[in-house]
Amino acid sequence: MAEVVVLGSGTSSGVPTLGFDYEATFLAEPKNWRTRPSILIVGPTGRLLVDCAPEMRLQLLRERVTDVESVLVTHGHADHIMGMDDLRGFCLRTGRPMPVYAYPDTQEDIRRVFPYGFAAGRPGLLLPRFDLRDVPEIFEAGGLTVRTFPLIHGTMPVVGLRVGDFAYLTDVSEIPEPSWKHLGGLDTLVLDAVRYRPHPNHFHLARALEVAGLIGARATYLTHLSHDFDHHATESTLPDGVRLAYDGLRIPL
């Protein structure tokens, strides 16, 4: 069955965040433990990983994932690329470089952070290998058709994507006008909502709810969540059809 697995639903620092104290009741709720943002799109013939969070290895072990066909990196911020080193396991399994779709600026970030993913390897060394590819408007992954379109994240472009009637909009502060046409008739939307206060690079909760209303998906899950949000307390305040994402959430495609 085709489905989306939310691997991580947390903001860039993860939740709980280092350096803060939390109420025991907050820590006792498993859905308040959020790893960095990433999803896995599971198709009939393979899996597309969207972003490589610092916890990527643990996320994929948790979900019992032993192979990934290709990777889409939405942008080059640390919380979206720092897990890429662990793609080495999949390169070893297939004997091929991992196809990684990314915008040109993100490709530069990846080359800067992981130069050894492109260097000629010495025999016996287990290194990741990345096959960087430009982001097509439409491509096939895992037997599914993926549509991409740009979003704005502060000042940088970020890849938004749609598969069937599902769309994923992480790290967004503005949806460019031409991208709106890809957001009609959605069954499920996963949308950035980082915190209560406005943020220069992200939708905050009030803005995310406005945008969710404009898009009008049957169900909207908010993601990239900070510790502002206690899962159950926050969900009880949300409008019908809007929920908080959590690590391990599964959405049928």
Binding site for Zn ion (CB under 5 A): 77, 171
Q: In a 3-state reduction of DSSP, which class is residue 215?
A: helix
CB 76 to Zn ion: min, Å: 8
CB atoms inside a 10 Å sphere around CB 164: 15
Sheet holding 219-223, edge to edge: 138-141, 144-153, 156-163, 166-169, 188-192, 219-223, 242-244
As measured in angstroms, the least distance from the Cβ of 218 to Zn ion is 27
Strand partners, 124: none
> What's the min distance (Å) between Cβ of 51 and Zn ion?
9
CB 158 within 8 A of CB 175: no
Complex with Zn ion: residue 15 or 91, whichever CB lies closer:
15
Nearer to Zn ion, 34 or 77 (CB): 77
Distance of closest approach, residue 204 Cβ to Zn ion, in angstroms: 15
Nearer to Zn ion, 152 or 238 (CB): 152
Cα distances (angstroms) measured from residue 140 to each of 95, 107, 119:
21, 20, 28
> 77 vs 129, which CB is nearer to Zn ion?
77
Say how far apart CA 121 and CA 88 lie, in whole Å.
12
Q: Determine the Cα angle at 225 with ends 246 and 63, to 5°.
A: 30
Residue number with the shortest CB distance to Zn ion? Answer: 77
Distance in Å, CB of 171 to Zn ion, minimum:
4
Task: For residues 237 and 54, give the distance between their C-alpha atoms in angstroms, rounded to a whole number.
Answer: 31
Written as one letter, the residue type at 95 is G
Nearer to Zn ion, 55 or 171 (CB): 171
